[in-house]
Amino acid sequence: MTETVAFVGLGNMGGPMSARLVRAGYQVRGFDPAEPARQALAGAGGTAAPDLAGAVRGASVIVLMLPNSDVVEATVHDGGFVAEPGATVVDMSSSEPMRTRALAAELAERGVTLVDAPVSGGVSRARSGELTIMTGGEPADLDRVAPILAHLGTATRAGAVGSGHAVKALNNLLSATHLLVTCEAILAGERFGLDPETMLSIFNRSSGRSGSTENKWPTFILPGSYDSGFGLRLMLKDMRIATGLADQVGTPDPLGHAAAELWARAAEALDATADHTEIVNWLRKDPAR
């Protein structure tokens, strides 16, 4: 019998990810309050459930691809979350590691397993099935969902439950911090008279290179498309998870906090739907003066 996978959260990432599982042959029942997201799943050959219970009922694996821990918890606590004992919940959202641990313990009392499997790679890699997936959970539980994750990307086991969420947030703190300083460097170079493309080609053969210089600047910023599909507010959320984690475990992170404060100012100044690559436009307005 074909395995039934519930997919909750069919947005920028969950849309293409659920469509890949349909193409891989799973019976995918998806739910999202947004009608166009449900229609897209139906168009891809999946089943769009009218409510949460319609997606979750009878599914052996329940994938969550939701904005944050608040929404993940609200979903799991919803009366429609009718997961049966023996089911495995895979939280692929970028959630808060400490809250993930607590939620896993709570679900275990209902006989339901939770593993975390957040991703990196953005919308294009969600479409191509080349996401970097970082997982947290017991090895036997991760073995159970490994065939599903294999259709979405390459998974690396980070440790116990919550570990995937921890490393994901830390990764995005790095990503956001170097994107901001890359924007600062390129704007300074431009004002000096350097050509951005020339700068990038030199950075990319030097020690200043990063995902910001190799991918984000050439793909989304130089052409002015700002369409990475990863919202600026979602990036800020991840940075705050990472700095919160450092605070909780008691390690120093003055640069991380400073970067998060700057991103918070950008989030206030820019449109609510701004892409994270639009951080450069906030800088261009010369926020320091």
From candidates 66, 112, 169, 245, binder to ligand NAD by CB under 6 A? 66
Q: Which residues of 208-230 are buried (b: 16+ CB within 10 A; e: fewer)?
A: bebbbbeebbbebbeeeebebbb
Residue written as tokens 């809250």? Answer: 99
Catalytic residue among 168, 216, 237, 285: 168
**CB of residue 234 to ligand NAD, shortest distance in Å:** 4
Longest dimension (CA), the chain: 65
Stretch 234-263 residues interacting with ligand NAD (CB under 6 A): 234
For ligand NAD, which is the closer residue by CB, 31 or 263? 31
Q: Applying CB under 6 A, does 175 fall inside the site for ligand NAD?
A: no
Q: Applying CB under 6 A, does 46 fall inside the site for ligand NAD?
A: no
Active site residue 168: yes
Span interacting with ligand NAD, options 61-69, 187-195, 209-217, 258-266, rule CB under 6 A: 61-69
Q: Do 47 and 28 form a contact (C-beta atoms < 8 A)?
A: yes
Span interacting with ligand NAD, options 68-76, 82-90, 207-215, 219-227, rule CB under 6 A: 68-76
For ligand NAD, which is the closer residue by CB, 13 or 262? 13
Q: Applying CB under 6 A, does 42 fall inside the site for ligand NAD?
A: no
Given CA atoms 166, 170, 175, 176 in this order, what sign does their dihedral have? positive
**CB of residue 121 to ligand NAD, shortest distance in Å:** 7
Q: Of 128, 104, 5, whose CA–CA distance to 55 is shortest?
A: 5
**CB of residue 289 to ligand NAD, shortest distance in Å:** 32
For the chain, report the end-to-end CA distance as a whole number of angstroms.
64
Residue type, 66: L
Q: Applying CB under 6 A, does 10 fall inside the site for ligand NAD?
A: yes
Q: Give the separation between CA 125 and CA 100, rounded to whole angstroms.
A: 25
Q: Give the separation between CA 197 and CA 180, rounded to whole angstroms.
A: 17
From candidates 7, 26, 31, 282, binder to ligand NAD by CB under 6 A? 31
Q: Give the separation between CA 95 and CA 221, rounded to whole angstroms.
A: 27
Angle between helix 163-192 and helix 254-269 axes, rounded to 10 deg: 70
From candidates 4, 5, 6, 14, binder to ligand NAD by CB under 6 A? 14
Q: Of 146, 169, 144, whose CA–CA distance to 242 is shortest?
A: 169
For ligand NAD, which is the closer residue by CB, 31 or 282? 31
Write out the residues near ligand NAD by the rule CB under 6 A. 8-14, 31-34, 37, 65-68, 71, 74-75, 93-94, 119-120, 122-123, 229-230, 234
Active site residues: 168
